[in-house]
Chains A and B, each alone.
Chain A
Amino acid sequence: MHPVVSLLIQRLALGVLLLLAASALIFGLTEVLPGDAAQAILGQSATPESLANLREEMGLNRPALTRYFEWLGGILTGDMGNALTNKLPIADQIGKRMSSTLFLAFWAALISVPLAILLGLIAVRYQNRWPDKIISGVTLASISLPEFMIAYILIFFFAVQSLSWGIWGWFGMDPVAFPSFASVSPTMTLGEKLYSITLPAAVLTLVVLAHMMRMTRAAILNVMQSAYIETAELKGLSTFSVIYKHAFPNAIAPIVTVVMINLAYLVVGVVVVEVVFAYPGMGQYLVDAVVKRDVPVVLACGVIFAAVYIILNIIADVVSILANPRLRHPK
């Protein structure tokens, strides 16, 4: 068997194991938390008898291991149970929420990933000169501000102030203000949806840009020390083609790793942004569930978030393996 194939199988198997471990951990943690679903439903006024009855009814008295495997089996067959609060199937809810979150994450990624890599390349090309310093300064500033702060700053300028800007007139347009309330619904056209998510997507882009850009810059600068870069320079290639053709292909592995970590963040780390813009995504859903102590929903969200992280990291691993010519073409 080609060594790459066995390496890939190894990674995939490891990913599955990791996912199982994560699910056990999440389940275990909700078990050891004080109080359970019965307590949550009945609230402060619960009498010991009513608690015991409800636990019996919900099957909470059975051993944790049994309930874990039932729950796990349910997830594997697509049945995540019903939410405690509104009795609706969790899977349907998550399906809707997840597609909203992925929609936002997709557009934020589509802008931020190429932009971050391009800025990284430019920063290397003009290392320690003003373009590098400006790029580093702006991206560092944006990562240093809390994301809700960026969100409110953008809302202030582009949802409120922009109506009074004269700039629109130069293009013969009416003043534009972007919505600060980013609601999307299935009936909207793509254009309407995009318009609606402009500000949250911009905030997310600013938040993840710096990390990816700086990692790209560092990874390529590291490669730029190599002797083969000198060979390329001595072929008379321009600095930018040296960076793009000779340095970048050797820096793919670390860049992909950091890109994947940021993509995962776009899916699972957007709670604050979703709340600020009242965007109906997974983050909102999770926050609501935690507030209402809706344990099954929290569990389901937790497992899905873990899965997103693990899958994206497996992809990063796979790309790193495939990017290495020593593994791709053994002796």
Chain B
Amino acid sequence: MTEPLVKVRGLKIGATVYPPGEKPHDIEIVHGVDFDLQPGKVLGLIGESGAGKSTIGLAAMAYGRGGVKITGGEVWVNGRDILQAGVGDVRKLRGGEVTYVSQSAAASFNPAKQIMEQVIEAAVFQGKFSKKEAEERGVELFRKLGLPDPENIGKRYPHQVSGGQLQRCMTALALCPEPDLVVFDEPTTALDVTTQIDVLAAIKEAIRDTGVAALYITHDLAVVAQVSDDIMVLRMGNTVEYGSVDQIINNPQEEYTQALVSVRTIDHPEKKPTGDPVLQCEHITARYKGTNFDVLHDVNVELYPGQTLAVVGESGSGKSTLARVITGLLPPREGKILFDGRELTPDQPSRPVEDLRELQMIYQMADVAMNPRQTVGTIIGRPLEFYFGLKGAEKQRRIQELLDEIELGSGFQDRYPAELSGGQKQRVCIARALAAKPKLIICDEVTSALDPLVADGILKLLLDLQAREGVAYLFITHDLATVKAISDSIAVMYQGRVQRYGTKTEVLSPPFDDYTDLLLSSVPEMKLGWLEEVIATRKMESAGN
């Protein structure tokens, strides 16, 4: 066996934490991890947030993000322990031997500089190529990664290209200096599912053609199964399981890996509509102020009491705009919204309090949707005061009830949002919406920021609450697995129009229109070779990449 390109032994990583009300202290976040990576191979690092996967990836560049410090162990790259290397040696390593592709290329490109200048910077600085050679190589990489107009796209600024294109540019940036290893840190997570598949295919091809080795970090096992040779499953800084991709996917040994591999456990049979619709959108056309094009065209959807309508589509399809129109934040240009059979006033400020109460919202980012300086009790208590005038003991009793409903104990009343986990924060937001006893809750990507297992918990909670309280959900999401788990009816949106609309069974049964087919086929499946299969068989290429 040849000497591995990367050899990690007993890697320990620590960080300084600053908990509210306590003295800052050091904690260990990675507790001794070992792995080998042969030249030209791809190792997938997988785990939930907090598993330490990004931290380990960056350790291969001797880098600690924020207050993160590497506290022990060895990281051998190209035959030398980079944790013992001097500053100059580490600089040669970064950008020369090991390069990095981040989750958000949009944030990782300097907005003040042209793309090409940034793509070639490391290659030129590290003395690998002259400026001219590096630029030629850049153009070649742009072409290989399937970017439009590869000759000229480098002259653009980052804000002038789309998210998917920028993610490919970031890959070009990483490959330009001919590194031995590229660390891919969730490179497709921020992309739409239809875009993800193209970028994934481009990355895989580039890895194969250049013969570079890679660490591929993601929380999505189905994605990593498409690109890796080996997989390491991490949880809370420990290795859970480490083996070949075939073994991990088809024959997982550990319980935790099995939970990750198994498909979603929620089986939600669709309910028949009963009674009169709680929400009717009739011929909604809308545009934003100061623009001259419509973002919604003639949208017609209905939602029945106690049911869930999933609105699904990629970013820019108008699904969040629809929520803004229904809540009255963006009055429509044409059309009307009927709530319980009566017409709602188009703009939010002029709606009566009763209308506001019956229509609540839950947002994607639970942590920014709560005042960080208010306790959970205050946050949930506010709608109780505002809508029902509850005070004192009665309010306390109701807060307690709500906390029980979201499966959090009474101990949570006096906690601040910063002391809660992501899933717990989202539960508090659900309780706040429920406090108003609404007929309809608009859920805008409420599980997108959560780890899969936590997201499942939230979905189950929402379904339980719906069964008990009879509340209807308008569920906005880009994730088809979530749609299948929770919806009774589905509206597929594309470029501001409802492309396909009906009950869950109708929408998810063939024959499909081209876009729905693309959307459905783009959801990564937990099997080897899925990516190639899909690229070969799909009917339409994604437009917005």
A127 CB within 8 Å of chain B: no
Q: How far is the CA of A237 from the CA of B177 in the complex (A)?
A: 14
Binds A, one of B110-118, B300-308, B472-480, B510-518: B110-118
Partner of B121, one of A235, A325, A326: A235
- The reply to whether B160 and A329 form a contact with Cβ atoms under 8 Å apart is yes
B268 CB within 8 Å of chain A: no
- The reply to whether A236 and B91 form a contact with Cβ atoms under 8 Å apart is yes
Using C-beta atoms within 8 Å of the partner chain, give the interface range for chain B.
20 to 34
A331 contacts which chain B residues (CB < 8 A)?
A: 159-160
A226 contacts which chain B residues (CB < 8 A)?
A: 107
A230 CB within 8 Å of chain B: yes
- The reply to whether B125 and A237 form a contact with Cβ atoms under 8 Å apart is yes
- A3 CB to nearest chain B CB (Å): 13
Q: Mark B159-177, 1 if CB is under 8 A from A, else 0.
A: 1100000000000010000
B315 contacts which chain A residues (CB < 8 A)?
A: none
Q: Mark B96-109, 1 if CB is under 8 A from A, else 0.
A: 10011010100111
Given contacts A235-B121, A236-B93, A236-B95, contact A230 B108 (CB under 8 A): yes
Q: Mark A310-331, 1 if CB is under 8 A from B, else 0.
A: 0000000000000101100101
A234 CB within 8 Å of chain B: yes
- The reply to whether A326 and B159 form a contact with Cβ atoms under 8 Å apart is yes
Which residue on A lies nearest to B91, using beta carbons? A236
A85 CB within 8 Å of chain B: no
Using C-beta atoms within 8 Å of the partner chain, give the interface range for chain A.
20 to 34
- A95 CB to nearest chain B CB (Å): 41
- B187 CB to nearest chain A CB (Å): 13
- The reply to whether B122 and A236 form a contact with Cβ atoms under 8 Å apart is yes
Q: How far is the CA of A231 from the CA of B108 in the complex (A)?
A: 6
- The reply to whether A249 and B113 form a contact with Cβ atoms under 8 Å apart is yes
- A313 CB to nearest chain B CB (Å): 23
- B108 CB to nearest chain A CB (Å): 5
B93 contacts which chain A residues (CB < 8 A)?
A: 236
- The reply to whether B157 and A325 form a contact with Cβ atoms under 8 Å apart is yes
Which residue on A lies nearest to B173, using beta carbons? A231
A232 CB within 8 Å of chain B: yes
A50 CB within 8 Å of chain B: no
B99 contacts which chain A residues (CB < 8 A)?
A: 234-235
A227 CB within 8 Å of chain B: yes
Q: How far is the CA of A80 from the CA of B137 in the complex (A)?
A: 65
Given contacts A249-B113, A329-B156, contact A236 B125 (CB under 8 A): yes
B125 contacts which chain A residues (CB < 8 A)?
A: 235-237
- The reply to whether B157 and A329 form a contact with Cβ atoms under 8 Å apart is yes
- The reply to whether A230 and B159 form a contact with Cβ atoms under 8 Å apart is no
- The reply to whether B111 and A238 form a contact with Cβ atoms under 8 Å apart is no
- B162 CB to nearest chain A CB (Å): 10
Q: How far is the CA of A78 from the CA of B121 in the complex (A)?
A: 54
- The reply to whether B108 and A237 form a contact with Cβ atoms under 8 Å apart is no
Interface residues of B in 57-115 (CB under 8 A from A): 61, 63, 65, 90-96, 99-100, 102, 104, 107-113
- The reply to whether B112 and A249 form a contact with Cβ atoms under 8 Å apart is yes
Q: How far is the CA of A228 from the CA of B100 in the complex (A)?
A: 12
Which residue on A lies nearest to B177, using beta carbons? A235
B542 contacts which chain A residues (CB < 8 A)?
A: none
Main secondary structure of the interface of A (DSSP, over half): helix
B503 CB within 8 Å of chain A: no
Q: Mark B121-141, 1 if CB is under 8 A from A, else 0.
A: 110011000000000000000
Which residue on A lies nearest to B159, using beta carbons? A326
Partner of A232, one of B110, B111, B156: B110
Q: How far is the CA of A233 from the CA of B58 in the complex (A)?
A: 12
Given contacts A236-B94, A329-B156, A331-B159, contact A227 B107 (CB under 8 A): yes
A326 contacts which chain B residues (CB < 8 A)?
A: 111, 157, 159
- The reply to whether A246 and B111 form a contact with Cβ atoms under 8 Å apart is no
- The reply to whether B159 and A237 form a contact with Cβ atoms under 8 Å apart is no
Q: How far is the CA of A228 from the CA of B111 in the complex (A)?
A: 8
Which residue on B lies nearest to A247, using beta carbons? B110
Which residue on B lies nearest to A226, using beta carbons? B107
A250 CB within 8 Å of chain B: yes
A249 contacts which chain B residues (CB < 8 A)?
A: 110, 112-113
Q: How far is the CA of A329 from the CA of B156 in the complex (A)?
A: 8
Q: How far is the CA of A235 from the CA of B92 in the complex (A)?
A: 9
- B315 CB to nearest chain A CB (Å): 16
A228, A237, A323, A329, most chain B CB atoms within 10 A: A228
Which residue on B lies nearest to A250, using beta carbons? B112
Q: How far is the CA of A237 from the CA of B122 in the complex (A)?
A: 8
Interface residues of A in 210-250 (CB under 8 A from B): 226-228, 230-238, 246, 249-250
Q: How far is the CA of A234 from the CA of B174 in the complex (A)?
A: 10
- The reply to whether A250 and B111 form a contact with Cβ atoms under 8 Å apart is yes
- The reply to whether B110 and A246 form a contact with Cβ atoms under 8 Å apart is yes
B156 contacts which chain A residues (CB < 8 A)?
A: 329
- The reply to whether A230 and B102 form a contact with Cβ atoms under 8 Å apart is yes
- B172 CB to nearest chain A CB (Å): 13
- The reply to whether B157 and A230 form a contact with Cβ atoms under 8 Å apart is no
B100, B110, B121, B173, most chain A CB atoms within 10 A: B110
B109 contacts which chain A residues (CB < 8 A)?
A: 228, 231
| Top-8 shortest CB links A-B | A235-B95, A236-B95, A227-B107, A235-B122, A236-B94, A236-B91, A249-B112, A228-B110
Contact surface of B with A, Cβ cutoff 8 Å? 61, 63, 65, 90-96, 99-100, 102, 104, 107-113, 118, 121-122, 125-126, 156-157, 159-160, 173
Instruction: Provide 19 A-B residue pairs closer than 8 Å at the C-beta atoms, listed in order of the A residue.
Output: A227-B108, A228-B107, A230-B102, A231-B102, A231-B108, A233-B63, A234-B63, A234-B94, A234-B95, A235-B94, A235-B95, A235-B99, A235-B121, A236-B92, A236-B122, A249-B110, A250-B111, A250-B112, A325-B111
Contact surface of A with B, Cβ cutoff 8 Å? 226-228, 230-238, 246, 249-250, 323, 325-326, 329, 331
